């Protein structure tokens, strides 16, 4: 009888143990599975981010190379041809021409001179070597000069703090973003006054561009179903993200636009100083 009771106890114990092991296995399996899935998810996000980063980098490299090529062609080829034309016009101006013809040649020569200067300025702004050699600040100063020369806009470049190089890769991206923003401001906003401000802090760099144009509805454009609308803004966003920075667009219809780009500075970025302002 006692043996039978022992057998029953063993059966009950074994049964309980079996169901506990089964339940435990399933619970642990689910926990480990969830953990593995989380790791997989993180890996996939990292792969996607790297992929997007590489795509964007290649796009920017292609864009830079194209700009560089066009800039060089304008400067070395068309610029040289126009210079020769100008020299010939100079010779013609010195020759025995009728006075009225001479005046026309002189006027043409002057116009051509302006065209050559504009061409050089454009070529300079397309050429990324100027950023490599002289930095973002000088590149932007040239842009400001180019726009000032048109006489249509008031534009100023302000500088806060002790400037330093952010590195060519970062500066060229910022320079191209800045060119795009300025181009938009001149083309679409109807702004008459633009301020560019560079702020250098030990652990932060900030670039802000403020205009007094007609502004735009940022939220409306970004939520538009038509992806073509706002593609420029999205592109700026992506490029700033690539630099691990942040961009803030503040704009209201009729109240101008301010775009602020903030980048964190790693310790080795501030090694190459350009000097104080």
SS3 assignment, position 253: coil
SS3 assignment, position 167: coil
SS3 assignment, position 157: strand
If binding is defined by CB under 8 A, does position 28 make contact with other proteins?
A: no
The binder of other proteins chosen from 9, 13, 20, 22 (CB under 8 A):
22
The binder of other proteins chosen from 20, 37, 101, 149 (CB under 8 A):
37
Backbone angles phi, psi at 164, to 5 degrees: -150, 165
Residues contacting 218, CB < 8 A, separation 6+: 233, 249, 250, 251
Backbone angles phi, psi at 251, to 5 degrees: -155, 140
Name the minimum Å distance from CB 55 to other proteins.
22
Interface with other proteins: number of residues (CB under 8 A): 21
**Contact present, 230 and 224 (Cβ < 8 Å):** yes
The binder of other proteins chosen from 9, 24, 31, 33 (CB under 8 A):
33
What is residue 267's DSSP assignment? G
Cα(50)–Cα(44) distance, integer angstroms:
10
Residue recorded with tokens 């795009």: 180
The binder of other proteins chosen from 26, 49, 81, 204 (CB under 8 A):
26
The binder of other proteins chosen from 13, 20, 29, 114 (CB under 8 A):
29
The binder of other proteins chosen from 9, 20, 24, 36 (CB under 8 A):
36
Looking at 40-48, 62-70, 145-153, 218-226, which segment touches other proteins (CB under 8 A)?
A: 40-48
Cα(245)–Cα(207) distance, integer angstroms:
11
If binding is defined by CB under 8 A, does position 42 make contact with other proteins?
A: no
Looking at 25-33, 139-147, 184-192, 252-260, which segment touches other proteins (CB under 8 A)?
A: 25-33
Backbone angles phi, psi at 166, to 5 degrees: -95, 0
If binding is defined by CB under 8 A, does position 25 make contact with other proteins?
A: yes
The binder of other proteins chosen from 13, 30, 62, 97 (CB under 8 A):
30
If binding is defined by CB under 8 A, does position 27 make contact with other proteins?
A: no
Residues making contact with other proteins (CB under 8 A): 4, 7-8, 11, 14-15, 18-19, 22, 25-26, 29-30, 32-33, 36-37, 40-41, 43-44
């Amino acid at each position: 009888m006692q043996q039978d009771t022992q057998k029953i106890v063993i059966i009950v114990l074994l049964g309980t143990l079996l169901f506990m092991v089964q339940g435990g296995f399933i619970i642990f399996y689910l926990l480990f599975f969830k953990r593995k899935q989380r790791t997989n998810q993180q890996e996939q996000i990292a792969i996607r981010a790297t992929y997007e980063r590489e795509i964007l980098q290649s796009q920017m490299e292609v864009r830079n190379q194209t700009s560089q090529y066009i800039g060089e062609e304008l400067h070395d080829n068309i610029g040289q041809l126009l210079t020769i034309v100008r020299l010939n016009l100079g010779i013609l101006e010195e020759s025995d021409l009728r006075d009225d013809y001479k005046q026309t040649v002189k006027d043409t020569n002057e116009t051509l001179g302006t065209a050559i200067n504009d061409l050089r300025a454009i070529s300079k702004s397309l050429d990324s070597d100027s950023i490599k050699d002289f930095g973002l600040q000088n590149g932007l100063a040239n842009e400001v000069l180019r726009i000032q020369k048109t006489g249509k806009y008031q534009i100023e470049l302000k500088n806060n703090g002790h400037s330093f190089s952010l590195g060519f890769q970062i500066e060229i991206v910022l320079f191209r973003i800045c060119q795009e923003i300025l181009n938009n401001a001149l083309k679409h906003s109807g702004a008459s006054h633009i301020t560019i401000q560079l702020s250098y802090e030990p652990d932060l760099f900030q670039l802000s561009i403020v205009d007094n144009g007609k502004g735009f509805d940022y939220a409306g454009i970004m939520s538009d179903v038509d992806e073509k609308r706002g593609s420029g803004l999205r592109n700026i966003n992506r490029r700033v993200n690539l630099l691990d920075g942040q961009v803030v667009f503040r704009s209201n219809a009729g109240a101008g636009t301010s775009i602020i780009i903030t980048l964190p500075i790693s310790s080795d970025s501030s090694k190459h100083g350009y000097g104080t302002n």
